[in-house]
Structure 1
Amino acid sequence: MILEVAIFDIVPGQEAAFEAGVGRCRPLFARAKGCRAMSLRRVIEVPGRYQLLVEWDRLEDHIIGFRESEDFQTWRATVGQYFAAAPVVEHSEIVAFSD
């Protein structure tokens, strides 16, 4: 399983619109091949910053399957207008865990 963490800084005053846009886009992720789950979190220490957490079966499911899809274009058209800067996106995999 691959965890995508995307960090978004949102234009001040547009936070509620961004959150609503992400909510409208949930079906895009739900139908994406290899997408297990997604959630949006508001960062407490930095106003206007959010973390999008998406679990993918494989890295390719995100960087090829989703990013090259029409659904990705819809996602960016829906929420991209609220970005104050380009998002930072990282992918990770579990190498150790606790019981």
Structure 2
Amino acid sequence: MFMEVAEIQVKPGTETAFEAAVQAAVPLFQRAKGCSAMRLERSVEQPSHYSLLVQWATVENHMVDFRESADFDEWRKLVGEFFAAPPQVGHTATVVKGF
């Protein structure tokens, strides 16, 4: 399993609308090949900063299967207008799990 970590900065004042757009996009991730979980977290100190965490079976499920799909295009249509800058996206693999 791999975790996609997308650091997203939204335009100040659009936080509520952005969160609603991400909520509307949940079904896109639910039906994506290899996607088993997703969540959006908001920074307490910087309320316009979010972390989108998406669990994928493989990096290819994210980078090829999802990103080349019509659902990715729909995702960008839903949330793209809120971005203050392009999201910074990477992938992580768990190396230590405490509990």
Q: Name the TM tier (shorter chain).
A: over 0.9
Match status 1:94 vs 2:97? no
CA distance in 1, matches of 2:97, 2:47: 30
Q: Could you report, residue by residue, the CA deviation over 1:35-77 in whole angstroms, capped at 9, with x for unpaired residues? A: 0000000011212000100000000000000000000000001
Match status 1:37 vs 2:45? no
Identity rate, percent: 51
CA distance in 2, matches of 1:17, 1:79: 9
Query: What is the CA RMSD across the aligned residues, in angstroms?
Result: 0.8
Note the residue ranges of structure 1 that are not aligned, 5 or more in a row.
none
Match status 1:13 vs 2:13? yes
Q: TM-score, normalised by structure 2?
A: 0.96
Aligned length: 99
The residue correspondences of 1:12-91 to structure 2 (distance < 5 A) are 12-91=12-91
Aligned AA (2:89): V
Q: Post-superposition shift, 1:97? A: 2.2
CA distance in 2, matches of 1:53, 1:97: 17
Q: Post-superposition shift, 1:98? A: 2.3
Say which SS state the counterpart of residue 46 (structure 1) adopts: coil
Q: TM-score, normalised by structure 1?
A: 0.96
